[in-house]
A and B are shown apart, each in its own frame.
Chain A
């Protein structure tokens, strides 16, 4: 029996790359899509395992272009093995991992190390993102070309903003030689200061230092101007404010090469939840306000925001069971991302293909990988979810090594049930 062959029958196939949304069968042979449609011929030479996808939705494998796997250096939070198992359990077949490991992924050696670990430890595809500057220090460019040869798909100092506008401009210029997208973590470090939550009425109430929305918006505006100046490809990570959305919308209208992503938590939670002082609500950029959620939803609906990305940021209990001021920023997200996105589809009556495009085709385009499609001949990376299943988040059941989720106990609808990478089932959920 061929492990990399499968017949997926009677699923609702949603593939925006081919404008498909209908009940079809998919034949996978040797890790590639062999046929898609109805009534095609099935080879009789060897038995092919079947998945009955009746009532399930079958899509190209989901891609999360914003995760932190913490290896090397932060393996008490997450490892490549646990992080990628978490991805598979969340329905993702490909993820990109950020460069803020220890040591930083700012050289081909670290990129190579990560890729070697991925080859042995990961059930899903992992695309490393290289640093923009050495050590994420914002002082000198990292060896971007060498990292590109070693396999990076984009560059970013994510976690930090390259505050020196001159240097960021040079990074954008240089990225064009290697056809790399530059991903901006937009938070002006001076305006952010010691802030721990969104600046507004709630920060005043809770007595916590605020981070103004302008801390993000001034950098988004700066980077859009620099993208225009250089002609480079800019991607705005985790857009969180209505103001950022307006800037990105306007830049796209003017034909500047800018894309953007939004996280499930910025689409779902407001800064009101910080009032519990639960440090799992502490994240960068911070949770904002209702009007921002509305603008972000609208931006997903009209395509201003291209991709959905979890910003999976695992932290250990030691780093979170502390004072709000002292807790690390970030929350895990891979295993709760999909149902939170799907809740938006249900609530806003979005076309399912819009969600799928933002999780497959669009992110693949942003990082320039040949993924995100079920076309014949493509890698057989397939995600299958059950749209009807209701379940409750239990963080103790996470595959991730960390449990820093504010969604523990949330009732969800929709769950990934098969995650298939190159024709191999790497995760099988309870149906």
Chain B
């Protein structure tokens, strides 16, 4: 089982943040409350604890990323730490090195925290077992992307003041989405009602067992939803028999003004980015007043600060509202 390692001495009682599947409600609350407090302090120009002063975050990115990577780098810097980024194309095997070799090499350089993005599911779990330092999963294959889900919950809470009972629809390529999995787990733990919508070719097998409602028709799915979270469609899906063409995908699963009119007027439109404008999300919808996409991005830095702060033994911050 992918249970976390034995409880270390921090407020989260977690050595590493590998995923949201096994996060408890209290842990999610601590992460979000601390992130909200950081955000308020930052906006008011108040001091942020220098939790990472004299510490180095080692960012190992086996997969291209600009936003997640810069978000983590900014988060590290705002906590007074240094970051070093190592990007590697391909798998360790292609370099003639095993994944555990990679781990041992990193450990020998004595960083304080490891932030890993990897195209193969489970790689952070293998490294976490081999390493004696905290690790943050910045996305592993189709498996999990916990900081993205947590920043999404933070954004939902900020807009709606409540996560419990919120109806969230995730639309698109659920099968190949780590964002979808991490969101489903975290939202369900917090008591949200989650639905997914996509063509049957792009839904994971037995997804309903994750406790979500399954739709194939976007027009039916969007009704009564409080949040519609659009996922980025990867263009390689069009050449692997998973969906016929970009045009057809956009026609059935794109969120445009016509579909937006079927939504509740106060619906929140979210997207983990980067947006394929005109494909899964029409430009006028992405830029509409219902879109909180840019809030997601700015909350991302705060949430990642919260993760790094708490995993490094920092004290949690409370928040004036009860995070439910």
Q: Which parts of B102-159 form the interface with A (CB within 8 Å)?
A: 118-123, 125-126, 140-144
Complex: A206 Cα to B100 Cα, angstroms: 20
A199 sits at the interface (CB 8 A): yes
A369 sits at the interface (CB 8 A): no
Known: A207-B122, A277-B125. 20 other contacts (CB 8 A): A199-B205, A201-B209, A203-B205, A204-B210, A205-B181, A206-B121, A207-B142, A207-B144, A207-B181, A272-B1, A275-B2, A276-B2, A277-B123, A317-B98, A318-B98, A321-B99, A321-B100, A323-B92, A323-B120, A323-B123
Which among B92, B126, B144, B207 has the greatest number of chain A C-beta atoms within 10 A?
A: B126
- Which chain A positions have C-beta within 8 A of B101? 321
Which residue numbers of A lie inside 8 Å of B, CB to CB?
199-201, 203-210, 212, 272, 275-277, 317-318, 321-326
Interface size class of B (residues with CB under 8 A): 20 to 34
- Which chain A positions have C-beta within 8 A of B125? 276-277
- Which chain A positions have C-beta within 8 A of B123? 277, 323-324
| Contacts A276-B2, A323-B92; A208 near B121 (Cβ below 8 A) | yes
Chain B 154-181, CB-CB to A under 8 Å as 1, else 0, gives 0000000000000000000001001001
Complex: A350 Cα to B9 Cα, angstroms: 50
Q: Which 4 A-B pairs have the closest CB atoms?
A: A207-B143, A277-B122, A204-B204, A323-B120
Main secondary structure of the interface of A (DSSP, over half): helix
Measured CB to CB, the closest approach of chain B to A213, in angstroms, equals 11
B66 sits at the interface (CB 8 A): no
Q: State which of A201, A208, A326 has its C-beta within 8 Å of the C-beta of B93.
A: A326
B21 sits at the interface (CB 8 A): yes
- Which chain B positions have C-beta within 8 A of A321? 98-101
- Which chain A positions have C-beta within 8 A of B207? 204
User: Which residue of chain A lies nearest to B240 when distances are taken between CB atoms in the complex?
Assistant: A193
Q: Are B99 and A325 in contact (CB under 8 A)?
A: no
- Which chain B positions have C-beta within 8 A of A277? 2, 121-123, 125-126
Q: Are B141 and A208 in contact (CB under 8 A)?
A: yes
Which residue numbers of B lie inside 8 Å of A, CB to CB?
1-2, 21, 91-93, 98-101, 118-123, 125-126, 140-144, 175, 178, 181, 204-207, 209-210
User: Which residue of chain A lies nearest to B144 when distances are taken between CB atoms in the complex?
Assistant: A207
Complex: A269 Cα to B57 Cα, angstroms: 39
Q: Are B122 and A324 in contact (CB under 8 A)?
A: yes
28 A-B interface contacts by CB (under 8 A): A199-B205, A201-B205, A204-B175, A204-B209, A205-B210, A206-B121, A207-B121, A207-B144, A208-B121, A208-B122, A212-B205, A276-B1, A276-B125, A277-B2, A317-B98, A321-B99, A321-B101, A322-B93, A322-B98, A322-B99, A323-B93, A323-B118, A323-B123, A324-B120, A324-B126, A325-B121, A326-B93, A326-B120
Complex: A318 Cα to B143 Cα, angstroms: 24
Measured CB to CB, the closest approach of chain B to A229, in angstroms, equals 30
Measured CB to CB, the closest approach of chain B to A193, in angstroms, equals 9
Complex: A210 Cα to B175 Cα, angstroms: 11
Q: Are B141 and A325 in contact (CB under 8 A)?
A: yes
Measured CB to CB, the closest approach of chain A to B3, in angstroms, equals 9
Complex: A206 Cα to B210 Cα, angstroms: 12
Complex: A277 Cα to B99 Cα, angstroms: 12
Measured CB to CB, the closest approach of chain A to B203, in angstroms, equals 9
- Which chain A positions have C-beta within 8 A of B122? 206-208, 277, 323-324
Complex: A325 Cα to B91 Cα, angstroms: 10
User: Which residue of chain B lies nearest to A318 when distances are taken between CB atoms in the complex?
Assistant: B98
Q: Are B2 and A325 in contact (CB under 8 A)?
A: no
Which among A205, A206, A321, A326 has the greatest number of chain B C-beta atoms within 10 A?
A: A205
Complex: A206 Cα to B93 Cα, angstroms: 21
- Which chain A positions have C-beta within 8 A of B2? 206, 275-277
Q: State which of A199, A201, A208, A212 has its C-beta within 8 Å of the C-beta of B142.
A: A208
Complex: A209 Cα to B205 Cα, angstroms: 10
User: Which residue of chain B lies nearest to A212 when distances are taken between CB atoms in the complex?
Assistant: B205
Q: State which of A201, A272, A322, A325 has its C-beta within 8 Å of the C-beta of B206.
A: A201
Which among A206, A318, A323 has the greatest number of chain B C-beta atoms within 10 A?
A: A323
- Which chain A positions have C-beta within 8 A of B141? 207-208, 325
Measured CB to CB, the closest approach of chain A to B90, in angstroms, equals 10
